[in-house]
């Protein structure tokens, strides 16, 4: 299988990565939490006598931690965090996909460290310039 992807395939892959990350928005009041750090800092424990953390196994067998927190409006929110060193088949598949996306960007002329940094920002739900890099490589190199 070739590691070269069309730009449309890369956009779809990135969309899938972003859908699983922040920002987290409360369905009750619309409050948005830009990233995990803000989510944990700006929300409150559900109960004073409980951490709100629950270790679990996802449907695909991945180890996860469910975090229950109260939004500023009082609504209970749930966020799921995956172990980034997940050694399950799906965890390995996610890392493989990340590697394939990284290889694609490098093959298109993006510096390896820049590509890696920008992909990690996507995965973490942080502001990134990946779309600009993709457009620049598409305009400069073509497919």
Q: What tens digit of pLDDT does each residue of 8-41 get?
A: 555 555 444 444 557 889 999 999 998 888 888 8
Contacts of 28 (CB under 8 A, 6+ apart): 71, 73, 75
Domain membership of residue 2 (yes or no) is: no
Sole residue written with tokens 């409150």: 44
pLDDT for 84 equals: 52
121 found inside a domain: yes
Q: What pLDDT score does 115 carry?
A: 86
> Rounded CA gap, 13 and 39, in Å?
25
Residue 49 lies in a domain: yes
The Cα 65–Cα 31 span in angstroms is 22
Query: Which of 85 and 31 is assigned the larger pLDDT?
Result: 31
The answer, yes or no, to whether residue 141 has pLDDT greater than 70, is no
- In this model, does residue 2 exceed pLDDT 70? no
| Domain assignment present for 107 | yes
Contact 134, 35 (CB under 8 A): no
Domain count, the chain: 1
Question: How far apart are alpha carbons 26 and 38 in whole angstroms?
Answer: 13
1 domain residue, yes or no: no
Model confidence, pTM: 0.46
Assess if residue 45 is contained within a domain: yes
Q: Provide the pLDDT for residue 53.
A: 83
41 CB-near residues (< 8 Å, 6+ apart): none
Q: Which domain holds residue 63?
A: 7-141
93-123 pLDDT per residue, tens: 877 888 888 888 888 888 888 888 888 887 7
């Amino acid at each position: 299988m070739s590691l070269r992807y069309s730009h449309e395939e890369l956009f779809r892959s990135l969309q899938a990565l972003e859908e699983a990350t922040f920002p987290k928005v409360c369905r009750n009041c619309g409050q948005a939490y830009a990233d995990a750090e803000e989510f944990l800092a700006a929300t409150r424990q559900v109960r004073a006598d409980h951490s709100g953390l629950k270790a679990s196994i996802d449907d695909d067998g991945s180890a996860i931690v469910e975090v229950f927190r109260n939004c500023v409006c009082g609504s209970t929110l749930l966020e799921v965090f995956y172990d980034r060193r997940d050694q399950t088949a799906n965890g390995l598949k996610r890392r493989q996909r990340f590697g394939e996306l990284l290889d694609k960007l490098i093959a298109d002329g993006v510096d390896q460290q820049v590509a890696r940094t920008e992909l990690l920002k996507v995965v973490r739900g942080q502001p990134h310039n990946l779309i600009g890099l993709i457009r620049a490589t598409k305009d400069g190199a073509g497919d």
